[in-house]
Amino acid sequence: MIKLSLEDVRQLATETLIGAGASSQNASAVADSTVLAERDGIRSHGLLYVPIYAEHVKCGKVDGTAVPVVEKVKSGSIRVDAKTGFAHPAIDAGFDAFIAATKENGVAALTTRNSYNCGVLGHHAERIAEQGLVGLCFTHAPASIAPTGGKTPVIGTNPFALAVPDTDNGAALVIDQSASTIAKSEILLRASKDETIEDNWALDSEGNPTTDAKAALKGSMLPSGGQKGFGVGLLVEIMASCLAGALLSRDAAPFSGTVGGPPKTGQCFLAFDTSAFSGELFVERISALTQAIEEQAGARLPGSRRKNNRQAIEKDGVIVDPTLLERIKKSG
C-alpha cells in the first residue's frame, strides 16, 4: 500500500483530469471534491472515481471544458446550466450569488441542470452551513431503484443532505443519506473487488434478491424502508430533476461506463438564514437537540464519523492501493 498526503491527492486528481482533457478550473473543482471524500474516509467517492471521471471526459460523457451559465431568475432563485460538464464547477459558479440571495431574502435556492455526479452531497450541505446557514440539498442519479412491487428502475439512489451550522463556522451535524439501502458506489466498489454484497441491498434483473454485486448492477437497488424509501427518492426526483429542469432519472445515461452520452442530471440546494426565522432560538434548540443525542451511550450525531476520520487522515495521510494508483496514472 502507498501513503499519500491530501495535497498529493489533490495534485494527482488535478493532473489526471487535465491530462484527460479537462480545463484546469474544472479539474480543480473536481479534485477539491476528491480530497474532501478521501479526507473524510469516503473512499467510494474519492480517488476510486478519478479514472472514471477521466474516462468520461475522454469519451464525451462529460464536457471537461464546459463553462457553466448562471442566471439569477428572481431575487431568491439562482439557476445554473452546467452545459453537460461536471457538477462541481457549475455549483461553484452559482454559489456566491446563492449565498448572497439567501442572506438578502432569508431563504434562497440554487438549481443546476445538464450536469453530472456531484460527489458527496453532504459536503455541499456542509459548505452552506459554513456560511452560517442551514443547507438542504438534493441530487438525483440515473435510474437504479424500482418502485416497491416492481422490477424496472424509475428513480436513482437520489440522496438528500442536511447540514446545520454550529457557532464556529462549521457544521453541528450533517445528515447525508440516499433513498436506497446502500449507496450504489458501494456496490460498484464491491464489484470491482469481486466481493459479495448484503442480501438486502439489491435485486437482480429478474427481480430476485442477490448477493452478487455485478448482478445487482444489472438489476435494481432496494429502497431503504420499502415504500417509504421510494417516497424519499421521489421527493428528491421532483426537486433535483423536475424542479431543476434536468432529465428524469429513467432517461439519464448511466454514470458508469462509456455508453449513452452525458447524463444531464441535476441538483437543487436550499439555504435558510436562521436570523430570518427563529434567530437565537435556533442555536439554543440545536444545542439541546445535539446534546440529547450525544449524552446517550452508544449514540452519535450524523456526520460525527466523518469528523473523526478527517482528524486522523489529515494527520496520517491517505492509504492507496498501488493497483488503483496505477489505474489513475494511466487514465490521464
- The residue-averaged pLDDT of 327-331 equals 94
DSSP state of 305: H
Give the integer Cα–Cα distance in Å for 134 and 127: 10
Question: Which pLDDT belongs to residue 93?
Answer: 98
Q: Is 88 a catalytic residue?
A: no
Question: Which pLDDT belongs to residue 314?
Answer: 92
Query: DSSP string spanning 152-170?
Result: S--B----EEEEEE-SSSS
Q: Position 178: which residue type?
A: S
Question: Which pLDDT belongs to residue 107?
Answer: 98
Give the integer Cα–Cα distance in Å for 123 and 111: 16
- Band (193; pLDDT cuts 50, 70, 90): confident
Question: What cell does 279 get?
Answer: 434567530
- Band (175; pLDDT cuts 50, 70, 90): very high
- Identify the structural domains of the chain with CATH numbers, from first to last: 2-180+223-279+304-331 (3.30.1370.60)
pLDDT score of 4 more than 80? yes
Give the tens place of pLDDT for each residue, 250-276. Answer: 999 999 889 999 999 999 999 999 999
Q: Position 308: which residue type?
A: N
Catalytic pick among 23, 28, 38, 45: 45
Q: Give yes or no for a contact between 124 and 137, defined as CB atoms under 8 angstroms apart.
A: yes
Give the N- to C-terminal CA distance of the chain in Å, as an integer. Answer: 21
Q: Give yes or no for a contact between 59 and 71, defined as CB atoms under 8 angstroms apart.
A: no
Nearest to 157 by CA among 232, 269, 78, 76: 232
Q: What is the overall mean pLDDT for the chain?
A: 95
Residue 147's SS3 state is coil
- Band (324; pLDDT cuts 50, 70, 90): very high
Q: Position 172: which residue type?
A: A
Give the integer Cα–Cα distance in Å for 1 and 294: 36
Residue 274's SS3 state is helix
- The residue-averaged pLDDT of 266-292 equals 96
Give the tens place of pLDDT for each residue, 161-170. Answer: 999 999 999 9
Q: Is 24 a catalytic residue?
A: no
pLDDT score of 185 more than 90? no
Min mean pLDDT across 22-36, 47-61, 218-232 is at 218-232
- The residue-averaged pLDDT of 145-173 equals 92
Question: Which pLDDT belongs to residue 101?
Answer: 98
Measure the CA angle with vertex 303, ends 291 and 200; round to 5°.
115
- Band (292; pLDDT cuts 50, 70, 90): very high
Q: Is 45 a catalytic residue?
A: yes
Catalytic pick among 38, 126, 186, 237: 186
Question: Which pLDDT belongs to residue 141?
Answer: 96
DSSP state of 43: G
